[in-house]
Chain A
Amino acid sequence: MAAIELKRVVKHFGAITAVDGLDLDVPAGICLGLLGPNGAGKSTTMRMLTGQAIADSGEIRVLGYELPGESKQARLRMGVTPQLDNLDIDVTVEDNLAVFARLYRVNDVPAAVDKALDLARLRERRTDAVDKLSGGMRRRLLLARGLVHDPQLVLLDEPTVGLDPQIRTQMWSLIDGLRTRGATILMSTHYIEEAERLADEVAVMAEGKVVARGKPADLIAEHAGQLTAEIYGPPDHLAQARAKAEASGLRVRPAGPAIAVVGAERATDGVVPDDALRRAASLEDVFVLLTGEEAE
């Protein structure tokens, strides 16, 4: 049974269509990365899964429960880490966890709090107020709060957005630990590296729907081939190189100060300049080709 099933889900906000006929299933036990640019519909999808947004049409089932009618029952077995820090900053670390253990109807609250403190590596700081913690500690606590009831399904909404690389790596380590425990994870992100490192499968969202889905390596092979050639130089040089590559049927995308010719292994002689930087095709190439957005 799939942990999450969405069929033809549509959600409008006034004239804006945030989710547009979304079909998505997440099999139990995998980590699915929901990758997409800002405004692709990732956060709205997450909110629909927690019952905080109601779909205008379509069907949503979570852990076998039909939403929105059985949303509370589904949320009992689901943990959520939000994009924004919404901890109670004046309250102690352990009280933040205990409140949510009670909300999730945990029988042994002290034991659940201890376990979550260990997970977040905050046992030594349990009696400190949250506003005394560093940014990384707060993010770990936020993650642990969503796991205090040992959920079957974990929703991570941009779990490392705005974090510095060191803290991001700490969070990745914790999320990787969740995968090995067998939890099903749906993780929205717009960081390519995050999806590549953590996700068993990636669904690329754009304009409210999934435009590609698969294992990162399969997506790369299908949409970006084997090699990408990055060409650097002045604008007129780049314009000429782009025209030449596109004329020979290759796809070209912007790559910061350069252009990237995707599927460069198929380029005929002279299409890609000799001084171009050739590298293995990446998920970033797929993301940019499919969404038209620059990756982060």
Chain B
Amino acid sequence: MNEVRVRRLDPAAITGIMSREVANFRTFWVSTTFSSVLEPVIYLLAFGLGLGATLVNRVDGISYVEFVGTGMVATAVIFASALPAMFGTFVKHRFQRTYDAILAAPVSVEELVTAEMLWIGLRAGFYGCFPIVVTMFFGLDPSPGMLLIPFFSFITALGFAAFGIAVAGSVDKIDQFNYVTTLVITPLFLVAGTFFPIDQLPQGVQAAAQLNPLHQLVVLVRHAAFGFVSTDLIRVAVLIGFMLVMWRLAVRQMTKTLID
């Protein structure tokens, strides 16, 4: 007889759920990795080389290719975290009934959400580094600070994974994700400072951009590549705070959805 005592946020429950994700991921990793590698290349070719060769030469003292390439980390992170979290959570809950099976085992909603966040965070953190690798082929020089980019990507991806899970726990129909992608994800992506510096925007938008976690990630990645400043610690704290708030929100929304 198993005499194990289960506890809150039990690592066995979390790794058990993640092992399920790994088993599933093994069946579709090729297509996911293909798009995660190719997308930044396409963006770099279109914006970095296209605009860089014709309209923009240098931005904030660096080449436009490097500007876009470093900024693309944030784009890769949000698209590899928020969207899979939204759609994946909804499908597993409503269509596959996966969560009913998992919650019948000794697993809490908090552990379920945490495990899903961690898995998506790891994946998105990894894929988030691809644009940097690709940009190196276009002339970006490696630097020691870049070793922190996976960590910055990971904590940001955790926050956006939790955001996606919270959204999935709040909508009635999958079509309602359109509102979220149009009204939240696209604006966050566009005013992150990926394709143009936000200091050219109106003051109000600049202030709002400071609240955008993606903008904080973009700045951190550029500083990792070209030199940190002391205020970067505050940016890291903002990303960790965003992740914690979203985590609790996701747990709350999914508890409402999964427990009658």
| Residues on A facing B (Cβ under 8 Å) | 11, 13, 44, 47, 50-54, 72-73, 75-78, 80, 82, 84, 86, 88, 90-92, 95, 98-100, 102-107, 129, 145-146, 149, 152, 155
Contacts and interface: CB of A to CB of B under 8 A. Distances in A.
Given A53-B260, A99-B16, A73 B24 contact: no
B100 A105 contact: no
A145 B2 CA distance: 17
Contacts of A13: 260
Contacts of A98: 19, 23
Nearest to A79: B104
Interface string B94-106: 0011101111111
Interface string B7-32: 00000110111011001100110000
A53 B259 contact: yes
Nearest to A98: B19
Contact of B100 (A11, A86, A103, A129): A86
A102 B15 contact: yes
B107 interface: yes
A76 B16 contact: no
Nearest to A44: B260
Contact of A105 (B12, B24, B28, B101): B12
B137 to A, nearest CB: 34
Contact of B2 (A11, A76, A84): A76
A205 to B, nearest CB: 18
B4 interface: yes
A104 B24 contact: no
Given A50-B104, A72-B106, A105-B2, A86 B13 contact: no
Given A75-B106, A76-B4, A146-B104, 11 more contacts: A44-B260, A75-B105, A75-B107, A76-B2, A78-B104, A98-B23, A99-B19, A99-B23, A100-B101, A104-B2, A105-B4
Interface residues of B, number: 31
Contact of A77 (B2, B24, B260): B2
Given A53-B260, A77-B2, A88 B23 contact: yes
Given A90-B24, A99-B19, A52 B6 contact: no
A92 B96 CA distance: 16
B4 A50 contact: no
B98 A88 contact: yes
Contacts of A86: 96-98, 100-101
A103 B106 contact: yes
A269 B15 CA distance: 72
A90 B105 contact: no
Interface in B192-221: none
Contacts of B1: 77, 152
A75 B106 CA distance: 5
A152 B2 CA distance: 10
Contacts of A72: 6, 106-108
Given A80-B104, A103-B107, A52 B20 contact: no
Contacts of A82: 97, 100-101, 104
A75 B104 contact: yes
28 contacts: A11-B260, A13-B260, A47-B260, A51-B103, A52-B104, A52-B258, A53-B259, A53-B260, A72-B106, A75-B104, A75-B107, A76-B106, A80-B104, A82-B104, A84-B97, A86-B98, A88-B20, A88-B24, A95-B23, A98-B23, A100-B16, A102-B16, A103-B16, A105-B4, A105-B106, A106-B2, A149-B2, A152-B1
B104 A73 contact: no
